[in-house]
Structure 1
């Protein structure tokens, strides 16, 4: 029986939620949630073919500008793989004919947020959310990128971005299991199929890309008639029409581009492949090529993926992870592309288990599910979970998943900005029979079964060391256009008013209201964090937190997961360095029953023996995985190097701990930690909701107000352990077969998170913070040795570190450290902040304030950090005048006072055979150690 109620027209505007608060524990029906998903829009088309979609949302003085081009990796001919992505980099990071300094400088100076560009199989897009007063300038730049780019593209700029893209490829390839995707595509798709190659492309094709090749790529694909422009936010359609015509109307039509067609191939028979990687456990993959997002089966395949291995209560989780415990994790996903999709199951085999037996069991479980299909309840939980996630994703106007994205995808692929409505209707219409029919049609075909086993990696295809000199390209005629408009007066930030109340037992509640979407987000935080983990048993807190969400005294793991899914709620336990918390997000209509779950999780954990053993094994597997990845290895080493093993901050921020300690933990250790730290006299509640505090306070008091502290003493943290003297040196951790090295630099600063670091952070933006920082511009943009790097003041409540992170190609490791040392030395001496850099930083930080708190998640985070660092409630509203008064001299003085000579300790994770000679040449003390 189809869920007819769900198919009701979606008529309630996201910016004006009207959902009634649930008065009982019964979840609100999906039909009610469905009516909260609506994005009103208007559209028009210019004479040159540019399609424009406009959505008005006045919640903040910002506008999302998103330009989507109907070209992606599937449209690349043989020998030109990676061109779409390479050109995205050229368009994003290089000058245009009328913005010779590039778009990044003015975007930062205007205070743009959420700005980036992406490429995938089917599209290339550029996006930014800008202050309303900067919209003219943003549209000028976006139109210059579309119609006035080629005259500014030089061989040198092409070579630089080629190097950056090749390092982006190395960075992905360098991760555990990082080479699998290439093998999957090449096996699933026949030669010549548009989806057979990855978006990043091959090193050889990137090497061969010429300047004229890239010019022609732009001419063929980036005309206005092959694009969709979405404006979402503080704008109306009349204003949009006038401005878009002004800035884009003169651009002539481009070549007629018909995106590549692609059939859905079927393997002639099952294919089993085996790969090897330096990983701690075997991973199993099952992959099918299936229909794409425009097909009638798309919603049913999405539901099938969720029920099989996507939900927390999924079939595979219950059978392999919680059931026979032969796997430590499972995932199932359906990726819907324009012409087709991919349905994939992934299983991490538990170390010590028979991978062959797990593989056979996996095939049996999939076959049984395909034959039997999901239940009505499983579909209902999937629908509600999906709707809740969609509502929360649509809160921002732009970014990677906001309202502009939904409208652009619909227009680009389906010629309908409202296509999301059809997708939601199809989701609500799914039944056990329809899902079973879709699986029977598509998942009974031969599968690609891939296994990755621990071992030495297969050979890696590197870029050429000696590309031949490029053929000279003819110069292009550049016709200047009118000057770029200036940015108008900025509206000041109006941060939501902060309210407070106290529960019956003294727990403080800190609240702000956000009415953009009918969602409530909250965090119950405790003064603990990774810093509270026992020094003699690191990993205790992580295991305790994992078990909080594994079941309560009255709810099993599966019951807890299923109830969250029915409510559209998500409850997660987490720890930062200084705080431990349990967070919740839920559609506000289901707030009361969601609070019942949250209270039960925090106050009544069961710590069942079977759950403890399962989560212990998963944590041990997590430690092993961490020790196989560059970031995990470096992240485990650097805190100990900086703070020493006895300091509360001398622990990996992941909190996973060490194998021997986790193996020895028992239930008493976990209940003891819970009693010492997870208690009402150590708690605060932070909440952001569309519901007023007067409604929320009684609900909170009913669930937490009678919670009494245990008799055991409250936990304490000691920060008096001596920190090692800062001695510049290098610690090299050998990771063979790494095409890229991860460089981490660290220095403990003479400041805490409760000190005033506004000027310090502003100064750091010049040298290390963001795309325009000196170190990123030098090593990434000028030399092309990295995909991206940066340095930042990583605030802690107590002794705060400065951290540099720089993944670089292996053969440039030593040179990169030398460049970093020289850049910081010069910045802290003769080459301080320039007047231009000061203006960019000041204007950018002021301009971005109104757009920084567009989402309730950002507001919640601001409440939490204000409390952690002792800031006033109006802290963010005080920053603009402080920035305006800031001078370059003050920025220099503060950087020099705090950073001193920047005598970093360097931790390098890379292939010692390649890297060690480079590091020895630097003349710093060098220690080589194994990952631990």
Structure 2
């Protein structure tokens, strides 16, 4: 063991075994991974937690400030979240809006800042040679944010944050969720308001408030930084001392000890929303995070409404079919937990009938308790999730995030073993006791959300001269500032690490099934995916939605396992099988712990080879699909993405919505579904992808044992008909009365996945709209504050593809935002990427590649594309060289060849009465009004006859 100087506390994780009973009399031993870490504190109070991992040339930097709504006061809700945005606006030595550009152009992945009730965090996973860059950036905005702040930046970010809130308000049932929290908690409680804050409170934020908040909470003694990955420990300590050491400590932050008052009499609230279906939500206050009863509550919720075939799902979704969906979850935080079940009604079903069944099922759980199988399944899924999350160095649930979370809540970054032990301590009896103790009718809040007016509390923007007379003084002495002038120099990158990207091993079974294997033995996790060319490209117009409906029903049961049995077998081993269909392929996949590889493959193979397509499952899924199609009008983004491709590609498969139309789905039969399966799933046109903790010998054994006897035949996918001739650029309005935002989306033809220019377009699009610092996002979000985010992309399919650009924008700026969006697209062919932009795009594209292969599921997903698009096995290994070879001339040529600003359909899904006048004056081309299926709407508002 290494020796450490006395000021450092070192805790080294050890391998332990967690016994997990899977059924009566059976015990399977799981080996927990080691998370060796060091924890120490700088003289200014900054807590440092480090974990070395040299698997990949990556390092995750994860900085937690121990501040959130937990620390806010009434009238300042959302302030912690607003400040999260301000931290990206520029600090003294880094420059205005430069932070995100620096990290992304260096090849960072998992870059973000987030806020929850108890903390605000900032994280980036960097190429290991760019660690110093990350420390320079994070330290500068910790210690020197105020010098870069002005009222223009604050005004812009108030707009951006309020757009983010409107984005939430535009989602169905958002207003009901906020009402639920308001009923659960008193107004003075820190968790009462939405984390994002109210419009009134966000708009009232002033520079003086921001300054006070930064100096009070964004200090080294109120923060912890976790760094995980490929670094030299001694060098890292030097860098941390260099960059963070000089920052003065701030005032002491006292712990928040607010007591959450219990609910002693049931509360009932009814809200209205512009939704198709009513929904009922029932919630309780439950124990705070990392208490034993929080684990017991989780298990109770799993049995009630969290399992695939939970009690509520069985009673309401599968048997009576009175509910469209059931969602139950528990969210434990520092001051309290909140546990909630939401049930969305089928058309014509009364909420009181759903509620009666809910209380009946809960009463049965409280009287009888859960089954042993339900408790063990909850524990198995929990263990799989925890271990699988550790595949990633950064991001949510990654190693650095886990160390910081344990440190904040428990003061122990090495709490993993205790966390798992507490979960394993859950029993049938403790789960039953928790259900009785916490889920009483008297302690519940019941919120009914019914169709009607969406009532929002938006407020006007502040006057243009707000804060105009405020003088910002430097918090530091001139002597200190002079001593820190060295920070003006961006640190040079270290020697670029060599990039090694996975090259799968390939072999074939006698029946023609290809197998692609990517080994990785760092963690005991395996992902298996059976991928067939069974995507929506095979749909005909009259059968739109067939591919996705077939995949959904495949997950409902096999010839030997009905839905309940299949769900139990999956969850018993801590896994969930996903069956889905994209445009070019259908896939049956699962991730699980390697100790269950045989059981998992048995389930996967059964679903892929022996789907039952039972009449009751076909009928139920068809009805659910029809309801889901009707619900698409609840969300403007869903509306725009249904209409846009249809207007570009017409009645070809690329223009048909994956869900289909009400007419096409009503016409689908059980025979259509079984025939589609027989025609498109088979060993001769499929691949089995295995990624993770499995050897070549084991892969061959598993593949032969579970897929060697598969003998069905699959037909080649048909050629896609040519799309209609592109129309001149014009505007299409899809009306959604009362929408708080407009989905502004420009659609046009793109290129196929086989195009030799796909790599060039990846690099081109990085500058246009593929990154936070892209031209489109910087214009619409950072310059004008029209949106929470705007982007562009080229999506390639087998026989074609489409170009897309846009985002959700404030209703009153729809026309202005559309003009700016089109300005950026029109300008790009004439002003393609500069040398500086190209260099940044190439570096980002190359250096971010290792971060795309951190998890077995990501590796399996990428590897499946090798089969679907007939790519060489070393496709990813050769990508860095391809990106590096791209020139300014390549970008200029591709921009002129593939960007067609005069042949775009600008779809605006929103409140027609508010957006149409401005769009008429915007000079963007003719205006049409279309319905959800892309059909013209007459001046009276009815769909015009075709």
| TM norm. shorter chain > 0.5 | yes
Distance in 2 between residues matched to 1:295 and 1:716, nearest whole Å: 54
Q: Structure 2 residue aligned with 1:503, among 496, 505, 509?
A: 509
Judged with a 3 Å threshold, the aligned counterparts in structure 2 of structure 1 residues 486 and 287 are, in CA distance, closer, same or farther, namely: same
Distance in 2 between residues matched to 1:619 and 1:823, nearest whole Å: 38
Is residue 767 of structure 2 the alignment partner of residue 766 of structure 1?
Answer: yes
> What's the secondary structure of 1:649's corresponding residue?
helix
Distance in 1 between residues matched to 2:840 and 2:581, nearest whole Å: 35
**Residue 673 of structure 2 corresponds to which residue in structure 1?**
670
Judged with a 3 Å threshold, the aligned counterparts in structure 2 of structure 1 residues 838 and 716 are, in CA distance, closer, same or farther, namely: closer
Larger relative contact order (CA 8 Å, sep ≥ 6):
1
**Residue 412 of structure 2 corresponds to which residue in structure 1?**
416
Q: CA shift at 1:31, angstroms?
A: 5.9
Distance in 1 between residues matched to 2:752 and 2:577, nearest whole Å: 34
Judged with a 3 Å threshold, the aligned counterparts in structure 2 of structure 1 residues 263 and 807 are, in CA distance, closer, same or farther, namely: same
Q: CA shift at 1:218, angstroms?
A: 0.3
Judged with a 3 Å threshold, the aligned counterparts in structure 2 of structure 1 residues 576 and 29 are, in CA distance, closer, same or farther, namely: farther
Given the two structures, how large is their TM-score scaled by the length of structure 1? Answer: 0.94
**Residue 644 of structure 2 corresponds to which residue in structure 1?**
638
**Residue 461 of structure 1 corresponds to which residue in structure 2?**
458
The Cα offsets for residues 872-899 of structure 1, whole Å up to 9 and x where unpaired, read as: 2222232333333332232112211221
* Preserved contact between residue 537 and residue 654 of structure 2 (Cα < 8 Å): yes
Judged with a 3 Å threshold, the aligned counterparts in structure 2 of structure 1 residues 582 and 306 are, in CA distance, closer, same or farther, namely: same
* Preserved contact between residue 220 and residue 255 of structure 1 (Cα < 8 Å): yes
The Cα offsets for residues 557-582 of structure 1, whole Å up to 9 and x where unpaired, read as: 00000001111222111111111111
Q: CA shift at 1:465, angstroms?
A: 6.4
Distance in 2 between residues matched to 1:271 and 1:901, nearest whole Å: 54
The Cα offsets for residues 333-358 of structure 1, whole Å up to 9 and x where unpaired, read as: 10011111101011111112232211
The Cα offsets for residues 78-97 of structure 1, whole Å up to 9 and x where unpaired, read as: 22111101110011343443
Is residue 704 of structure 2 the alignment partner of residue 707 of structure 1?
Answer: no
**Residue 257 of structure 1 corresponds to which residue in structure 2?**
253
Distance in 1 between residues matched to 2:310 and 2:700, nearest whole Å: 35
**Residue 446 of structure 1 corresponds to which residue in structure 2?**
443
Alignment of 1:246-645 (within 5 A): 246-444=242-440, 445-464=442-461, 466=463, 469-477=466-474, 479=481, 480-482=484-486, 483-645=489-651
Distance in 2 between residues matched to 1:656 and 1:859, nearest whole Å: 27
* Preserved contact between residue 27 and residue 567 of structure 1 (Cα < 8 Å): no
The Cα offsets for residues 248-295 of structure 1, whole Å up to 9 and x where unpaired, read as: 111111111124222232224112211111212111100111121033
**Residue 833 of structure 2 corresponds to which residue in structure 1?**
833
* Preserved contact between residue 325 and residue 350 of structure 1 (Cα < 8 Å): yes
**Residue 737 of structure 1 corresponds to which residue in structure 2?**
738
Judged with a 3 Å threshold, the aligned counterparts in structure 2 of structure 1 residues 539 and 591 are, in CA distance, closer, same or farther, namely: same
The unaligned stretches of length 5 or more in structure 1 are 1-8
Distance in 2 between residues matched to 1:568 and 1:275, nearest whole Å: 38
**Residue 3 of structure 1 corresponds to which residue in structure 2?**
none
Is residue 215 of structure 2 the alignment partner of residue 219 of structure 1?
Answer: yes
Distance in 1 between residues matched to 2:306 and 2:656, nearest whole Å: 32
* Preserved contact between residue 264 and residue 291 of structure 1 (Cα < 8 Å): no
Is residue 74 of structure 2 the alignment partner of residue 68 of structure 1?
Answer: no
Q: CA shift at 1:742, angstroms?
A: 0.3
Q: Structure 1 residue aligned with 2:29, among 27, 32, 36?
A: 32
Distance in 1 between residues matched to 2:508 and 2:381, nearest whole Å: 32
* Preserved contact between residue 69 and residue 117 of structure 2 (Cα < 8 Å): yes
Q: CA shift at 1:406, angstroms?
A: 0.9
Q: CA shift at 1:660, angstroms?
A: 2.5
Distance in 2 between residues matched to 1:205 and 1:495, nearest whole Å: 48
Alignment of 1:187-206 (within 5 A): 187-206=183-202
Distance in 2 between residues matched to 1:407 and 1:754, nearest whole Å: 43
Distance in 1 between residues matched to 2:917 and 2:247, nearest whole Å: 53
Deviates more, 1:579-588 or 1:558-567: 579-588
Distance in 1 between residues matched to 2:707 and 2:879, nearest whole Å: 35
* Preserved contact between residue 12 and residue 37 of structure 1 (Cα < 8 Å): yes
Deviates more, 1:262-271 or 1:780-789: 262-271
Distance in 2 between residues matched to 1:132 and 1:630, nearest whole Å: 41
Q: CA shift at 1:198, angstroms?
A: 1.0
Alignment of 1:91-102 (within 5 A): 91-100=87-96, 102=98
Judged with a 3 Å threshold, the aligned counterparts in structure 2 of structure 1 residues 458 and 94 are, in CA distance, closer, same or farther, namely: same
* Preserved contact between residue 44 and residue 51 of structure 1 (Cα < 8 Å): yes
**Residue 698 of structure 2 corresponds to which residue in structure 1?**
695
* Preserved contact between residue 733 and residue 912 of structure 1 (Cα < 8 Å): yes
Q: Structure 1 residue aligned with 2:653, among 648, 652, 656?
A: 648
The Cα offsets for residues 39-67 of structure 1, whole Å up to 9 and x where unpaired, read as: 22121111111111111111101111000
**Residue 719 of structure 1 corresponds to which residue in structure 2?**
720
* Preserved contact between residue 69 and residue 80 of structure 2 (Cα < 8 Å): yes
* Preserved contact between residue 754 and residue 869 of structure 1 (Cα < 8 Å): no
Distance in 2 between residues matched to 1:249 and 1:750, nearest whole Å: 51
**Residue 6 of structure 1 corresponds to which residue in structure 2?**
none
Alignment of 1:174-193 (within 5 A): 174-193=170-189
Deviates more, 1:116-125 or 1:391-400: 391-400
Q: How many residues align?
A: 910
Judged with a 3 Å threshold, the aligned counterparts in structure 2 of structure 1 residues 636 and 100 are, in CA distance, closer, same or farther, namely: closer
**Residue 679 of structure 1 corresponds to which residue in structure 2?**
682
Distance in 2 between residues matched to 1:207 and 1:467, nearest whole Å: 12
> What's the secondary structure of 1:771's corresponding residue?
coil
Distance in 2 between residues matched to 1:463 and 1:166, nearest whole Å: 11
Is residue 51 of structure 2 the alignment partner of residue 45 of structure 1?
Answer: no
* Preserved contact between residue 520 and residue 689 of structure 1 (Cα < 8 Å): yes
Distance in 1 between residues matched to 2:716 and 2:858, nearest whole Å: 29
Q: CA shift at 1:11, angstroms?
A: 4.0
Q: CA shift at 1:756, angstroms?
A: 3.0
* Preserved contact between residue 28 and residue 567 of structure 1 (Cα < 8 Å): no
Q: CA shift at 1:101, angstroms?
A: 5.3
Q: CA shift at 1:751, angstroms?
A: 4.9
Q: CA shift at 1:909, angstroms?
A: 0.5
Is residue 139 of structure 2 the alignment partner of residue 138 of structure 1?
Answer: no
> What's the secondary structure of 1:228's corresponding residue?
strand
**Residue 877 of structure 2 corresponds to which residue in structure 1?**
877
Distance in 2 between residues matched to 1:766 and 1:569, nearest whole Å: 39
* Preserved contact between residue 42 and residue 237 of structure 1 (Cα < 8 Å): no
* Preserved contact between residue 770 and residue 790 of structure 1 (Cα < 8 Å): yes
**Residue 5 of structure 1 corresponds to which residue in structure 2?**
none
Deviates more, 1:422-431 or 1:909-918: 422-431
Deviates more, 1:582-591 or 1:160-169: 582-591
Distance in 1 between residues matched to 2:335 and 2:633, nearest whole Å: 39
Distance in 2 between residues matched to 1:709 and 1:185, nearest whole Å: 53
* Preserved contact between residue 97 and residue 149 of structure 1 (Cα < 8 Å): no
* Preserved contact between residue 828 and residue 900 of structure 1 (Cα < 8 Å): no
Judged with a 3 Å threshold, the aligned counterparts in structure 2 of structure 1 residues 28 and 633 are, in CA distance, closer, same or farther, namely: farther
Judged with a 3 Å threshold, the aligned counterparts in structure 2 of structure 1 residues 119 and 922 are, in CA distance, closer, same or farther, namely: same
Distance in 2 between residues matched to 1:777 and 1:601, nearest whole Å: 46
Q: Structure 2 residue aligned with 1:155, among 143, 151, 158?
A: 151
The Cα offsets for residues 723-756 of structure 1, whole Å up to 9 and x where unpaired, read as: 2323211110000111110011111135553433
Deviates more, 1:872-881 or 1:527-536: 872-881
Distance in 2 between residues matched to 1:263 and 1:608, nearest whole Å: 52
